[in-house]
């Protein structure tokens, strides 16, 4: 299933991905990561289209990994 | 989940672990929401897509992105403030297939480095410059940049940037678009996801042009600096869209004219260097006759009388006859307005000072030369003067004087500029310290206008006839 | 092999080509422009690169780039231009990049004039740019040495990964002499630290920033170790009749030539005078100066400055012997006669 894998300790909680996602699949959670940021969480089961916008706008190289259906 | 696979993840051209970084080797050193991270990810993804990772040399500037080499798994060079385009030029001349990326901020590129970017663009260097414009000096903590909008408060414009005091923000794309050489100039923005995607297209086009050797490409990227703008990352992006993208920094393509870069053929032809450098050289000469008295020669006249080349003719001839020689043009305090002189020393022993303070031979081509140097001639020295122009006789009685109407002899043969050849021929013939045959042989080697070699040789003969006629030799 | 009658400025370019220099970046300035002009003619003929930059600041950064990419690089300028290169020279030292820079010294400060001085000694020998670094400084005194020293400077620069300066003056550059074009041409080998834009060199990084006290200290220690090694291995000097001399001239460049004539004149008068000529100004031959001092030989430093070399010589002599300074500036040079008179006067005073 399409989804975004969050590497919580690489997220600085800027929320740019949250605003970018067309389907509201991402939210900033309440807990702090090792760097002290409230990091992003994936809540978009069934809605994520693996469009990659979240990854593309995210300033961190490794915070997000987008999985999608195998292309045929 | 066997039915899914990774669609978007960290680019291969970024290090998987940022091993050059001290701490947190998985995250960047950029502040939350900073545009640098996004821009650099876009560049990395294009490097992957174009399969140019091995060929890429990434130039880190001075500014927040000084540590870009933490992230890019490419060749990396860190540059001094503003100079990346000059560094890129040096690399371009060395590695013809390298993909050279200069990544520069606004202070770096539009402030201190204005000269370098303008000239690299004007040369149409086949390089790509990514200009990250966040309208502020980030690394130093938020001072005014050349691109800061009017009225914006920074640490050095606490009341806001003033047009009358600080000038207007500089539009680099507009400025560079006034040059003919650049192939591609576009301004993009990281304000919204749509603009981010457009930015990626521009980055791709710019690098693709470089790969295909289409010339200088420049992409300006309006980029958020939430920390120094004192805004949230989202507000910062909205501010770009609302304030920067409008009249100040309109988003558009300013130039898209791929150029044909001439391949650098120079490095292909590599002649044998020794052959090249010894062409027209002479063989080592040796002299094993009786010791010869050293000659300290001063040749003086107007500029244009061939004084310096007369000296060269003496020096070259003497070299051919196995002397050590030195030739020094009028240079230093003895030079006076309008006149020129050459000091030539010919000696069996290695020459110490090349300066001739007290000549034992003075060749005076005009009046002022005789005035200036007569008194410096040594006892029993020789003065050869150009009697066509020198009106008086030397006052010195302890020297031998030879008056040669050099300008007349030269003029008669139709080459007035060859008065110098007359004088040197006379010097050789009268003193015998050089063979006239050597002087003749040297003329072709020394005098610039090869066209006149035959005429000069004729003048040598005319001079000899004159000397014989006057029984001076 | 062959002999040419050529200017010191031209000999530099021939030396550079023999020394394997592939890139000349230049900016016009009297009295060094001829070097760029000759390079503009000869480098393309030899299949190498010449480029006129927009400023000396750009020149030194072009050297930085081409040297990072493994090329043998050079430029030539004079005081005002070298001063502008200060930042780049410091960056190159920090990043351990080899380069060759020729300084045809002219009068300063400021715009000064175009006549010779040796007043860039402090700027060039002591560094010029910011930070704790050294450059190797060679001091030719003839057109032949302009050729030879330039030629070998590329190997030296590569060996130590340092900038080599040819510190010369307008006289040596303008003077024509016989130059024997000889020696084996060299070429740069592959450098394991350079960025060649290929897979093998992809992990190479050229930088001078270490945002960590320990790493910066370690880097600086490494630099100092290189400097210490270079100073041991590169020292070159020439003695002329110093063994029995009571008075020894110390001079480089044009002043050494003038002193050589003065030594000959004084010897003909039966006076025991010699010349000591440092061929490297960094490293400066400290032991030799100390030996002269221990032997109580009077040292007479002749230079076209207010005493920049003289202050180093005094430092090494450390009060053990008399160090005199004969200087001139503004483009003036001491004459052989003036030196001879001065020494006669000095020895006369001594014996009076």
| Residue B220 domain flag | yes
The count of structural domains within chain B is 2
Q: Is residue B13 part of a domain?
A: no
CATH of the domain at B95: 3.40.50.970
Q: How many domains does chain C fold into?
A: 2
Residue where a domain stops, chosen among C233, C263, C288: C233
Mutate to test the interface with C, among B352, B356, B378 (most CBs of C within 10 A): B352
- Local confidence band at B304 (pLDDT 50, 70, 90 cut-offs): confident
Q: What is the mean pLDDT of residues B206-211?
A: 98
**Is residue B180 in a domain?**
yes
**Chain B contact set for C199 (CB, 8 A):** 54
Let me know if C318 is exposed, middle or buried by CB neighbors in 10 A (0-12, 13-18, 19+): exposed
Q: Do C40 and C26 contact (CB within 8 A), yes or no?
A: yes
B377 assigned to some structural domain: yes
Residues from chain C that touch B90, judged by Cβ atoms under 8 A, are: 23, 25, 61-69, 71, 73
End position of a domain, from candidates B223, B245, B266: B266
Residues C36 and C89 in one domain: yes
Residue in B344, B354, B446 to test binding to C, most C beta-carbons within 10 Å = B354
Show the domain range for C320.
Answer: 237-351
Predicted confidence band at B451 (pLDDT cuts at 50, 70, 90)?
confident
Asked whether residue C100 falls in the same domain as residue C81, the answer is yes
Any domain includes B414: yes
**Best residue of C10, C58, C142, C198 to probe chain B, by most B CBs closer than 10 Å:** C58
Instruction: Give Cβ neighbours of residue B409 (< 8 Å, ≥ 6 apart).
Output: B419, B422, B459, B462, B463, B466
pLDDT digits (tens, 9 = 90+) for C300-314: 999 999 999 999 999
Q: For residue B335, what pLDDT is reported?
A: 47
- Between A13, A61, A69, which is nearest B37 by CB? A61
Which of A14, A50, A56 minimises the CB distance to B32? A14
Distance CA C294, CA C321 (A): 7
Do C14 and C88 sit in the same domain of this protein? Answer: yes
Q: How many CB pairs (< 8 A) connect A and B? A: 108
CA distance B47 to chain C (A): 13
Question: What pLDDT is attached to residue B341?
Answer: 92
Residue B284 lies in a domain: no
C103 and C190 in one domain?
yes
Residues of C within 8 A of B268 (CB-CB) are 47
Per residue in B113-148, pLDDT (tens digit) is 999 999 999 999 999 999 999 999 999 999 999 999
Are residue C220 and residue C343 in the same domain, yes or no? no
Among C203, C233, C263, give the residue marking a domain's end.
C233
CATH number of the domain where residue B347 is located: 3.40.920.10
Calculate how close chain A gets to B160, using CA atoms only, in Å.
27
Name every chain B residue with its beta carbon within 8 A of the beta carbon of C261.
352-353
Residues C187, C261 within the same domain: no
Q: Which residue of A has its CA nearest to B234?
A: A16
Give the pLDDT confidence of C51-101 residue by residue, as tens digits. 999 999 999 999 999 999 999 999 999 999 999 999 999 999 999 999 999
Q: Nearest CA to CA, how far is A66 from chain B (Å)?
A: 5
Report CB contact under 8 Å: A57, B190: yes
- If asked whether residues C106 and C198 sit together in one domain, one would say yes
Which of B103, B98, B77 has its CA nearest to residue C65?
B77
- Here the CATH number for the domain that contains residue A12 is 3.30.70.3270
Contacting subunits of A (3+ beta carbon pairs below 8 A): B
Q: What is the share, in percent, of chain C residues with pLDDT greater than 90?
A: 95
Count of positions (residues) in chain B = 473
**What is the predicted ipTM?**
0.97
Give the 3-state secondary structure of residue B166. helix
Please tell me whether residues B168 and B105 are part of one structural domain.
yes
Helix (H) or strand (E) holding A67: strand A64-69
Among left, alpha and beta (phi > 0; psi -120 to 50; other), residue B355 is beta
pLDDT tens-digit map of A4-52: 999 999 999 999 999 999 999 999 999 999 999 999 999 998 999 999 9
pLDDT band at C351 (very low <50, low <70, confident <90, very high): low
Is residue C70 domain-shared with residue C151, that is, in the same domain?
A: yes
Alpha-carbon distance B200 to B188, whole Å? 9
Is position B205 within any domain? Answer: yes
Looking at C187, C206, C233, the residue that finishes a domain is C233
* Residue that is last in its domain, among B227, B250, B266: B266
A51-68 pLDDT, tens digit per residue, is 999 999 999 999 999 999
CB contacts < 8 A, B to C, total: 251
At B174, which helix (H) or strand (E)?
helix B172-176
Do residues B203 and B341 share a domain? no
Chain A: give the shortest CA distance to residue B253, in Å: 22
Contact between chains at B71 and A61 (C-beta distance less than 8 A): yes
- Helix, strand, coil percentages, rounded to 5, for chain B: 40, 20, 45
Q: How far is A4 from chain B (nearest CA, A)?
A: 9
CA distance C270 to C264: 10
To the nearest 5 percent, what fractions of chain C are helix, strand and coil?
45, 20, 35
Q: Is the domain of C138 the same as that of C267?
A: no
On the question of pLDDT at B334 being above 90, the answer is no
Cis bond before residue C314 (omega within 30° of 0): no
Residues C208, C131: one domain? Answer: yes
Which segments of chain C are extended strands (E)? 2-7, 23-26, 49-52, 73-77, 99-107, 113-116, 136-138, 163-169, 176-181, 205-206, 237-240, 247-250, 273-278, 280-282, 298-303, 323-327
State the pLDDT at residue B333. 42
| Residue scoring higher pLDDT (B302 or B243) | B243
Q: How many structural domains does chain A have?
A: 1
Both B316 and B383 in one domain: the answer is: yes
Point out the residue among B271, B312, B319 whose CB comes nearest to the CB of C178: B319
Average pLDDT of the residues in B192-203: 98
User: What mean pLDDT do residues B439-468 have?
Assistant: 90
Are C306 and C174 part of one and the same domain? no
Same domain, B220 and B127: yes
Residues 6+ positions from C34 with CB-CB distance below 8 Å: C7, C9, C10, C173
- Examine the domain organization and report whether B250 and B303 are in the same domain: no
**How far from chain centre, in Å, is Cα C111?**
21
Give the separation between CA B321 and CA B87, rounded to whole angstroms.
49
Q: Which domain holds residue A33?
A: 3-67
pLDDT of residue B125: 97
Chains A and B physically touch (3 or more Cβ atom pairs below 8 Å): yes
- Partner residue opposite B10 with nearest CB, options A9, A56, A61: A61
pLDDT the model gives residue B265: 53
State the pLDDT at residue B270. Answer: 81
Q: Which domain holds residue B73?
A: 35-266
A33 part of a folded domain: yes
**Residue B237 sits at the chain A interface (C-beta within 8 Å):** yes
CATH number of the domain bearing residue C289: 3.40.50.920
Mean of the per-residue pLDDT values of chain B:
94
- Nearest Cα neighbor of C29 from C110, C97, C127, C106 is C106
Chosen from B32, B71, B241 to mutate, greatest number of chain A CBs within 10 A: B32
Residues of A whose CB is below 8 A from B26: 7, 9-10, 62
- Same domain, yes or no, for C329 and C188? no
Give the nearest partner residue to B196 out of A9, A57, A66, using CB atoms: A57
Could you tell me the CATH number of the domain that includes residue C211? 3.40.50.970
In chain C, the N- to C-terminal Cα span, in Å, equals 54
Please state the φ and ψ torsions of residue B323, each to the nearest 5 degrees: -80, 155
Q: What is the dihedral of CA B427, B430, B432, B433, to 10 degrees?
A: -30
Q: How many other C-beta atoms can be found within 10 angstroms of the C-beta atom of residue A67?
A: 20
Structure token pair of residue B112: 């201190």
């Amino acid at each position: 299933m399409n989804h975004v894998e969050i590497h919580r300790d690489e997220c600085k909680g800027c929320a740019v991905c949250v605003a970018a996602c067309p389907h509201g699949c991402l939210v900033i959670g309440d807990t702090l990561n090792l760097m002290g940021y409230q990091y992003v969480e994936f809540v978009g089961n069934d809605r994520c289209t693996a469009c990659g916008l979240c990854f593309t706008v995210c300033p961190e190289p490794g915070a997000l990994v987008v999985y999608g259906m195998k292309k045929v | 989940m066997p039915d899914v696979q990774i669609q978007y993840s960290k680019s291969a051209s970024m290090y998987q672990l940022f091993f050059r970084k001290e701490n947190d080797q998985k995250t960047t050193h950029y502040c939350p929401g900073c545009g640098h991270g996004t821009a650099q990810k876009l560049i990395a993804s294009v490097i992957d897509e174009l399969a140019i990772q091995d060929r890429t040399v990434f130039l880190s500037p001075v500014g927040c992105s000084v540590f870009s080499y933490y992230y890019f798994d490419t060749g990396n060079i860190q540059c001094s403030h503003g100079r990346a385009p000059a560094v890129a030029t040096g690399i371009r001349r060395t590695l013809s297939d390298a993909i050279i990326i200069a990544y520069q901020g606004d202070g770096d590129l539009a402030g201190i480095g204005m000269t370098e970017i303008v000239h690299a663009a004007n040369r149409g260097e086949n390089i790509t410059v990514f200009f990250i414009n966040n309208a502020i000096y980030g690394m130093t903590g938020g001072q005014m940049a050349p691109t800061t909008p009017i009225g914006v408060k920074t640490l050095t414009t606490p009341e806001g940037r003033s047009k009358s005091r600080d000038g207007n923000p500089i539009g680099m794309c507009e400025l560079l678009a006034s040059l003919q050489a650049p192939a591609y100039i576009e301004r993009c923005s990281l304000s919204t996801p749509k603009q981010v995607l457009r930015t990626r297209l521009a980055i791709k086009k710019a690098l693709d042009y470089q790969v295909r050797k289409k010339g200088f490409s420049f992409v300006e990227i309006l980029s958020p600096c939430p920390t120094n703008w004192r805004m949230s990352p989202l507000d910062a992006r909205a501010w770009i869209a609302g304030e920067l993208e409008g009249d100040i920094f309109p988003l558009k393509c300013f130039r898209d004219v791929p150029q044909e870069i001439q391949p650098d053929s120079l490095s292909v032809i590599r002649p044998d260097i020794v052959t090249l450098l010894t062409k027209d050289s002479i063989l080592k000469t040796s002299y094993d006759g009786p010791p010869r008295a050293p000659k300290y020669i001063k040749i003086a006249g107007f500029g244009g009388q061939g004084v310096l080349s007369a000296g060269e003719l003496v020096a070259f001839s003497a070299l051919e006859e196995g002397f050590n020689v030195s030739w020094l043009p009028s240079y230093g305090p003895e030079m006076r307005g309008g006149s020129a002189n050459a000091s030539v020393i010919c000696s069996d022993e290695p020459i110490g000072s090349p300066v001739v303070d007290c000549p034992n031979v003075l060749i005076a081509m005009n009046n002022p030369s005789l005035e200036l140097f007569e008194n410096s001639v040594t006892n029993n020295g020789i003065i050869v003067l150009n009697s066509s122009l020198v009106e008086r006789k030397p006052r010195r009685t302890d020297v031998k004087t030879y008056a040669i109407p050099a300008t007349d002899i030269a003029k008669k043969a139709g080459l007035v500029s060859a008065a110098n050849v007359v004088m040197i021929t006379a010097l050789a013939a009268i003193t015998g310290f050089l063979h006239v045959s050597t002087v003749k042989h040297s003329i072709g080697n020394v005098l610039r206008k090869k066209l006149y070699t035959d005429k000069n040789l004729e003048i040598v003969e005319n001079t000899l006839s004159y000397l014989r006629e006057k029984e001076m030799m | 092999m062959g002999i040419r009658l050529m200017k010191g400025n031209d000999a530099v370019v021939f030396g550079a080509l023999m020394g394997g220099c592939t890139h000349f970046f230049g900016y016009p300035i009297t009295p060094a422009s001829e070097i760029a002009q000759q390079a503009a003619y000869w480098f393309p003929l030899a299949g190498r690169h010449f480029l006129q930059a927009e400023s000396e600041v750009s020149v030194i950064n072009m050297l930085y780039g081409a040297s990072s990419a493994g090329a043998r690089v050079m430029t030539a300028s004079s005081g005002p231009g070298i001063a502008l290169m200060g930042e780049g020279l410091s960056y190159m030292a920090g990043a351990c990049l080899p380069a060759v820079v020729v300084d045809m010294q002219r009068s300063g400060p400021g715009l000064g004039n175009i006549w010779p001085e040796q007043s860039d000694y402090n700027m060039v020998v002591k560094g010029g740019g910011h930070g704790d670094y050294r450059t190797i400084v060679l001091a030719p005194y003839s057109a032949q040495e302009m050729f030879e020293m330039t030629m070998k400077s590329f190997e030296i620069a590569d060996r130590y990964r340092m900038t080599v300066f040819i510190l010369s003056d307008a006289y040596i550059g303008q003077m024509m002499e016989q130059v024997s074009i000889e020696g084996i041409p060299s070429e740069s080998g592959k450098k394991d630290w350079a960025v060649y834009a290929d897979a093998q060199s992809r992990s190479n990084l050229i930088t001078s920033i270490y945002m960590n006290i320990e790493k910066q200290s370690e880097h600086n220690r490494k630099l100092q170790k290189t400097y210490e090694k270079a100073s041991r291995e590169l020292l070159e000097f020439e003695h002329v009749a110093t063994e029995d001399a009571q008075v020894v001239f110390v001079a480089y460049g044009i002043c050494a030539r003038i002193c050589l004539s003065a030594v000959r004149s004084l010897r003909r008068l039966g006076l025991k005078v010699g010349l000591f000529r440092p061929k490297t100004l960094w490293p400066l031959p400290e032991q030799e100066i100390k030996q002269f001092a221990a032997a109580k030989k009077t040292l007479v430093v002749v230079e076209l400055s207010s005493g920049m070399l003289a202050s180093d010589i005094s430092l090494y002599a450390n009060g053990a012997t008399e160090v005199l300074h004969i200087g001139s500036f503004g483009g003036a040079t001491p004459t052989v006669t003036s030196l001879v008179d001065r020494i006669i006067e000095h020895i006369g005073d001594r014996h009076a």
